C-alpha cells in the first residue's frame, strides 16, 4: 500500500499541517464525521439494553464501532493520499482483489441473515467482500472508460465495444454477489455502474436499454424462482406488511412503529421505547435509522438525511471538477453512497423492500465502514488532484 502513496507536498499554505487539512474538502469530512458520530451513538443506543440483558458490557458495540470508525478514518487518509492518476493501476488491482474475495466467500464464507457473504476473521471481525467489490468495480469501470476516452474525440460517447467490456466487468461481481445471494449489494453495484456510465457519457439510449433489460431480467428472475425464498418473502412483506407480522414483516412493522413515534424531536437518545425494548431486529445495522427516527425525531433524522445531502453535494462537486477517470470514479462513488443511503433509509421508512444493506457511516459494521473510508478517501484524493490542477 505504501508503494502507491505519494506524500503530498504543499505548495501553498502557512504550515504543513494546516495546508494538508486545507487540501481536503473539509465540508465533506465534517459531514462524514458527524454521520459517524451520530452512527456510533445510535449503535450504542440500539445495543446497550440487549447487552445489559445478556450481562455483557453495554459499551461493547460502541467500542467496536469506534474502532471500526478509526480504522475507516485511517483508510480514508491513506486513500486520500493516493495520486488519483494511480487509479489506473489501483483500479484493476482492487477489482481483481474483490473478485477473489467474492470467490473466497464461497470457500471460506459464512452465512449471516440469509446471505453467504461474510468471511469470518479471528478476533471477532468479519469481512464482507461485496463492500469492497463496489469500489473495485467503480474503479475498474472508470479506468476502462478513461483509457478509451483518451483515444476518442473529446466528448464522444463510449463505443459499443467499450460498453461491452464495461458490462462484462460489471456482470462478474454482480453475478457473484447475486449467488450469495445479496440483493442489496447487487442493487448498489447496478447503481454505481449507472453513475459511471452516466458520467462517462454513455448514450442515454444504452442506459435506458440497460435499465429496461435489468427490469425485465428482475421480473423474469422472480418468476423463474432465481431469487432466494427469503428475498421473495421480503418483497412480499414489503407489498403486504400486514400479512406476516411475526415473520419477515416484523422488521418493517417494528421499524415503522419506532420511527412513527419519534415525532418532531424524538423520545431522546437512549429513551426510545422500541429501541430500548430491543423490538427492532438488526437495529444496529440495517435498521439503525429507526433509532434515529425514534430517539432523535424528525429533526434528528432529517439532519441525518441532510448530512447525506451534504456528502452527495460535495461528491458531485468533486465529480464536476474532475476529469475523465477521476470524474467517473467520483460519480460512481456518489451514486453508490446515495443509492445505498436511499435504499437503507427507504426500507426503514417502508418505502423500499428490505434488503440487507448498511447505512453508510452510520450502521454498525467494519466492512461497510472500511469501504466507505476508502470511498471518501478516494473522493478526497480526486478533490486534491482537482485543486492541484486548477491551481496550476
By CB under 8 A, what part of segment 175-234 binds other proteins? Answer: 195, 198-199, 201, 203-205, 208
- The answer to the question of residue 156 lying near other proteins (CB under 8 A) is yes
CA distance 344 to 363: 10
List 2, 12, 239, 246, residue binding other proteins (CB under 8 A): 246
- The answer to the question of residue 133 lying near other proteins (CB under 8 A) is no
Cell 481536503, residue located: 24
CA distance 222 to 26: 44
CA angle 217, 219, 221 (to 5 degrees): 65
List 253, 355, 363, 368, residue binding other proteins (CB under 8 A): 253
- The answer to the question of residue 162 lying near other proteins (CB under 8 A) is no
List 129, 338, 366, 373, residue binding other proteins (CB under 8 A): 338
- The answer to the question of residue 329 lying near other proteins (CB under 8 A) is no
Beta strands in the chain (DSSP E): 109-112, 115-121, 125-127
Which of these ranges, 19-27, 67-75, 171-179, 338-346, lies near other proteins under the rule CB under 8 A? 338-346
Minimum Å distance from CB 121 to other proteins? 29
- The answer to the question of residue 301 lying near other proteins (CB under 8 A) is yes
Q: How many CB atoms lie within 10 A of CB 329?
A: 32
DSSP 8-state code for residue 352: S
Q: Which residues contact 390 (CB under 8 A, 6 or more apart)?
A: 321
- The answer to the question of residue 262 lying near other proteins (CB under 8 A) is yes
Minimum Å distance from CB 335 to other proteins? 7
Judged by beta carbon, residue 134 or residue 180, the one nearer other proteins is 134
H helix runs in 116-159, sequence order: 129-151
Integer Rg of the chain from CA:
21
Q: Which of residues 69-108 bind other proteins (CB under 8 A)?
A: none
Q: In DSSP terms, which residues pair with 171 in a beta bridge?
A: none
List 95, 118, 308, 364, residue binding other proteins (CB under 8 A): 308
Judged by beta carbon, residue 59 or residue 260, the one nearer other proteins is 260
Judged by beta carbon, residue 90 or residue 331, the one nearer other proteins is 331
Q: Is 187 helix (H, G, I), strand (E, B) or coil?
A: helix
Q: Which of residues 269-298 bind other proteins (CB under 8 A)?
A: 270-271, 273-274, 276-279, 281, 293, 297-298
Q: Quick one: which of 341, 283, 282, 278 has its CA closest to 307?
A: 341
Site pattern 26..65 for other proteins (x: CB under 8 A): -----------------------xx-xx------------
List 24, 339, 364, 370, residue binding other proteins (CB under 8 A): 339
List 35, 237, 288, 312, residue binding other proteins (CB under 8 A): 312
Which of these ranges, 17-25, 112-120, 215-223, 341-349, lies near other proteins under the rule CB under 8 A? 341-349
Minimum Å distance from CB 91 to other proteins? 19
Cα within 13 Å of Cα(344), Cβ side: 31
Minimum Å distance from CB 174 to other proteins? 20
Q: Which residues contact 274 (CB under 8 A, 6 or more apart)?
A: 254, 257, 258, 261, 280, 290, 294
What does residue 180 show for φ and ψ, rounded to 5 degrees?
A: -65, -40
CA distance 166 to 90: 17
Minimum Å distance from CB 260 to other proteins? 5
Minimum Å distance from CB 203 to other proteins? 8
Minimum Å distance from CB 53 to other proteins? 3
Q: Which of residues 343-382 bind other proteins (CB under 8 A)?
A: 345-346, 349-351
Instruction: Give the strand pairing for 115-121 and 125-127.
Output: antiparallel
CA distance 149 to 217: 30
Residue 357 C-alpha cell reads as: 444493506
What does residue 29 show for φ and ψ, rounded to 5 degrees?
A: -60, -45
Amino acid at each position: 500500500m505504501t508503494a502507491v502513496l505519494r506524500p503530498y507536498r504543499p505548495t501553498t499554505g502557512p504550515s504543513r499541517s494546516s495546508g494538508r487539512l486545507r487540501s481536503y474538502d473539509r465540508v465533506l469530512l465534517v459531514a462524514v464525521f458527524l454521520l459517524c458520530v451520530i452512527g456510533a451513538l445510535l449503535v450504542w443506543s440500539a445495543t446497550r439494553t440487549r447487552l445489559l440483558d445478556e450481562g455483557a458490557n453495554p459499551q461493547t458495540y460502541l467500542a467496536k464501532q469506534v474502532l471500526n470508525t478509526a480504522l475507516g478514518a485511517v483508510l480514508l487518509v491513506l486513500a486520500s493520499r493516493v495520486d488519483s492518476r494511480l487509479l489506473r493501476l489501483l483500479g484493476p488491482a482492487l477489482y481483481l482483489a474483490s473478485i477473489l474475495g467474492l470467490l473466497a466467500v464461497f470457500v471460506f464464507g459464512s452465512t449471516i441473515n440469509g446471505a453467504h457473504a461474510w468471511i469470518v476473521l479471528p478476533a471477532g471481525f468479519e469481512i464482507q467482500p461485496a463492500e469492497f467489490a463496489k469500489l473495485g468495480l467503480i474503479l475498474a469501470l472508470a479506468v476502462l472508460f478513461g483509457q478509451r476516452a483518451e483515444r476518442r474525440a473529446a466528448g464522444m460517447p463510449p463505443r459499443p465495444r467499450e460498453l461491452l467490456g464495461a458490462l462484462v466487468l460489471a456482470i462478474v461481481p454482480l453475478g457473484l454477489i447475486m449467488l450469495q445471494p445479496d440483493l442489496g449489494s447487487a442493487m448498489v453495484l447496478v447503481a454505481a455502474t449507472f453513475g459511471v456510465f452516466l458520467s462517462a457519457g454513455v448514450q442515454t439510449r444504452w442506459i435506458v436499454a440497460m435499465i429496461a433489460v435489468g427490469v425485465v431480467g428482475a421480473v423474469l428472475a422472480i418468476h423463474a424462482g432465481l431469487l432466494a425464498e427469503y428475498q421473495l418473502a421480503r418483497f412480499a412483506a414489503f407489498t403486504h406488511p400486514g400479512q406476516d407480522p411475526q415473520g419477515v414483516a416484523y422488521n418493517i412493522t417494528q421499524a415503522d412503529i419506532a420511527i412513527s413515534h419519534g415525532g418532531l424531536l424524538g423520545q431522546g437518545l437512549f429513551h426510545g421505547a422500541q429501541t430500548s425494548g430491543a423490538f427492532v431486529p438488526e437495529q444496529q445495522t440495517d435498521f439503525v435509522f429507526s433509532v434515529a427516527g425514534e430517539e432523535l425525531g424528525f429533526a434528528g433524522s432529517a439532519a441525518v438525511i441532510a448530512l447525506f445531502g451534504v456528502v452527495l453535494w460535495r461528491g458531485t462537486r468533486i465529480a464536476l471538477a474532475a476529469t475523465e477517470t477521476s470524474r467517473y470514479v467520483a460519480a460512481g462513488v456518489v451514486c453508490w453512497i446515495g443509492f445505498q443511503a436511499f435504499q437503507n433509509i427507504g426500507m426503514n421508512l417502508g418505502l423500499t423492500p428490505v434488503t440487507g444493506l448498511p447505512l453508510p457511516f452510520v450502521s454498525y459494521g467494519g466492512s461497510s465502514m472500511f469501504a466507505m473510508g476508502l470511498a471518501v478517501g478516494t473522493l478526497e484524493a480526486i478533490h486534491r488532484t482537482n485543486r492541484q490542477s486548477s491551481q496550476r
